[in-house]
Amino acid sequence: MTTTVFHGPPLEHTPPTNLTLPQFMLDVAHPLRPVRTTANPWFIDDQTGLNVNFEETRNRVYGLANALAARWRVSEGDVVCTFTPNDVDYPITMWAIHRLGAAVTPANPAYTADELVYQIQTSRASLLITCAGSLGIAEEAAKKAGLSRDKIIVFDVRGPAAANFKTSYPCIGQLIEEGLRSPPAFTEKVLAEGEGTRMIAYLCFSSGTTGKPKAVAIPHYSVISNVIQFASFNRIVDPKIPNEKRRFRPGDVTLGVLPMYHIYSIVVVLHCTLFCGHTIVVFPKFTLQEAIKSIIKYRISHLWIVPPVVVLLSKHQGLKKSDLASVRYVMVGAAPLSPEVARQFVKVLPADAAVGQGYGMTETSTVVCMQPLLVHHHIDGSAGRLISGTTVRVVGEDGKPKTYDEPGELHVKGPQTIYNSYLNNPKANAETFVDGWVRTGDEVIIKKNGDIFIVDRLKEILKVRGFQVAPAELEGLLLDHPAVADAGVVGIPDEYSGEVPAAFVQLQPDFAKRVKGNKKEEQKVKEAIAKHVAENKTRYKHLDGGVHFVDAVPKNPSGKILRRLLRDMAKERNLTGPGRKAKL
C-alpha cells in the first residue's frame, strides 16, 4: 500500500488542556522535565551580567501581573502589545500578562509607526509596552491607534545609559516592585479541562513575505504541546541515553539572540530550552563580535540561529576554532540553509558539535520537524524528521496525495496546530486551516528515512519555460562563491521563458571595494558569479535575469528574504530577461 500520511514518533504524554503557560512553566512538575541545577539561573543579561533565577522570575511575574491588574484592570480577553527588543524582563512580562488571562501580541521592534498601528488595531491591543529606543515610534503609533499616553509602559534601561534615562512613563521594574508591595488585585483563574485549547496566549503576526501580515491566534495548549513534543522527541529524560550523549542537559547555556517577538524564539528558545533546564543569555541586539565574546564568556553550548548568522560565522575571517569550543549543538531555522553553507559552517565548529535544521511556522506554533538525537549532522539540506505526535501529508497541485520522493505541498496536523487560527479572518482560515490540517504553502519532499526537504515556498517557486526553479537552491549556491556575502533570487519577466532568475547580491567587503567606481571590475565580478551558477546548475536555472549588486538583501529579523521587496526593486530598475537569447 502506498504511504500517503507520515507520522512522527508517538507522543509520550498527552499535553494538559487546563494550564496556562506560566502555570506550566512556573508552577507544576512534568514527567519529561529534568531537575534543574540550582546553580544555573534562568536568564543572564548579556549587557550587564544581571542574573535572574527561578524564584526571582516567579516573583517578578506575580509582581508585574498584580500591578497590571491594579493600574489598568488587565484581565481575561484583553490584549497587550509588546514592542521592544529582547530583554531579561520580556518573558516575565509575557507570563505576567498570561497570569491575568490576557493575550500578548509581540511586535517587531523594527516596525515603523504605521506598521505598529496596523498590529495594535488588528489585535485590538489596549496597552502598549515598549522600550526607550522605540519610545518615539510607540508614542506616534499609540496616538494614531487611539491609545492614550497613560496606556504606555517602558522597559527599564540598564547599564551606563540608565543614569541619563528619565521618563514620565511607568517602567517595568517600578511596576514589579509596586505589585509585590500591594495587596492582591487579581485572582488567577483555574482553567477547566479543555479551556487551555481556547484561551489565547499569543497573537503572533505572520512574516509578511508575500503580503500583509495576518494575526495568528495561538492558545496556551499549542505552545505547551510543542514543548512536550520537543522534550519527547529529544528524549530529554530517557534513562537509556547516557548523560554525555544527551543533547539537552540541565546547566546548558543557550544563546538568546533570536528576537523574542518571533515564534521560533517564543516557543523553542524561551519555553523549550527553559523546560530542559537551560540558562538563556539574553541579547537585546545581535552583533557578531559581541555574540562571539558571550559564547566564550558564558561557555554557551546551544546556538539557535538563522541562516544569515550562519553565513556571518562561516565567513568571519577573524574567528578562531577555539572561540566556539563550548558549542555542542546548533539548530538553524526560520529559513532554508543550503548544503554549501552548512558544509562551510561545520568547519568552524568543534568536531563533536551537532548541526541540523528545524522547520516550523507561526501557524504551527512552531516545530514540525528537527534533527533527531542520534543523527550528528544534517547538513545535506534536510529540515529534519517529524517530531513526536505530528502527522503530515504531501499534496500535489492536482490535489492528490504524494508518497516518498514525490514533491508537493506540506500539510501538518498535531496538538501544536489543531487549535490555531487567524484572528477575524475567515477567508484566510478557510485557505490555511482545512479539516484539522494546516496547509503550509511550502513544497517538500519526504525521503524513505523520514528526512524532510523543504524545496521552497510554493508562491516563490519560479516557472522557467515550464520548469520549476527554487530560489533557495540558487541562493545556497551563490553563498558558496567567495565574492558573495548574501544573496536573494527572484524571477523577472521574460518574453520567451515567462520568467528567469535574477540574483541580488551583497558583496564581501573586499570585493565591494574592488568594484566601487570601476565598471570594468564590476562587470568582471558579475560574470564570475553568473559563471559559478552556470557551471553548477542545469540550463534553465542559470541567472539569465542577471546579477545585481545591492547594499543588503532585505530580510525580516527571523532571516526570511523579503522577496516582494526584491521584486519591487526589479520593477523599479525595469529589469527584464534576455528573451530568446537565453534559449540555448
Residue 2 pLDDT grade (very low, low, confident, very high; cuts 50, 70, 90): low
pLDDT at 582: 44
To 10 degrees, what angle do helices 471-478 and 339-346 make? 40
Distance of CA 78 to the CA centre of its chain: 25
CA-based nearest residue to 549, from 510, 516, 508, 506: 506
Note whether 254 and 228 are within 8 A (CB).
no
Give how far Cα 442 sits from Cα of 69, 359, 407, Å: 42, 11, 10
Model pTM score: 0.87
pLDDT tens figures, 4-40: 899 999 998 999 999 999 999 999 999 999 998 778 9
Q: What integer pLDDT is reported at residue 584 of this predicted model?
A: 38
Neighbours of 328 (CB within 10 A): 18
β-pairing, 433-434 with 437-446? antiparallel
138-154 pLDDT per residue, tens: 999 999 999 999 999 99
Residue type at position 501 = P
Confidence (pLDDT) at 489: 95
Give me the pLDDT at residue 164, please: 83
H/E run at residue 360: strand 354-360
Answer whether residue 199 shows pLDDT above 90: yes
Grid cell 526560520 in the structure block, residue: 334
Give residue 455's pLDDT band: very low, low, confident or very high (50, 70, 90).
confident
User: What band does 580 get if pLDDT is binned at 50, 70 and 90?
Assistant: low
Give percent of the chain with pLDDT exceeding 90. Answer: 74
The sign of the dihedral angle between the CA atoms of 132, 138, 140, 146 is: negative
Give the residue from 115, 47, 116, 58 showing the smallest Cα distance to 87: 47
User: Could you give the domains of the chain?
Assistant: 54-190 (3.40.50.980), 460-582 (3.30.300.30)
- Better-predicted residue by pLDDT, 457 or 524: 524
- Is the confidence at residue 239, as pLDDT, over 50? yes
Rounded to the nearest integer, the mean pLDDT of the chain is 92
| pLDDT score for 147 | 97
Under the banding of pLDDT at 50, 70 and 90, the label for residue 451 is: very high
pLDDT score for 281:
98
Beta-sheet pairing, 367-370 with 385-386: antiparallel
What's the one-letter identity of residue 400? Answer: K
- Work out the pLDDT band at 464, boundaries 50, 70, 90: confident
Highest average pLDDT, of 320-324, 418-422, 532-536, comes from 418-422
**Residue-by-residue DSSP string for 44-101:** EETTT--EE-HHHHHHHHHHHHHHHHHHH---TT-EEEEE-S--TTHHHHHHHHHHTT
398-447 pLDDT, tens digit each: 889 999 999 999 999 999 999 999 999 999 999 999 999 999 989 999 99
Give, rounded to a whole angstrom, the gap between the first and last alpha carbons of the chain: 43
The strand pairing partners of 391, in sequence order, are 7, 413
- The pLDDT tens digits of the residues spanning 477-490 come to 999 999 999 999 99
Q: What's the rounded Cα separation, in Å, for the pair 61 and 67?
A: 10
Range with lowest mean pLDDT among 187-196, 320-329, 407-416: 320-329
pLDDT exceeds 60 at position 1: no
Mean pLDDT of 95-108: 97
Residues 6+ apart with CB under 8 A from 581: none
pLDDT at 255: 96
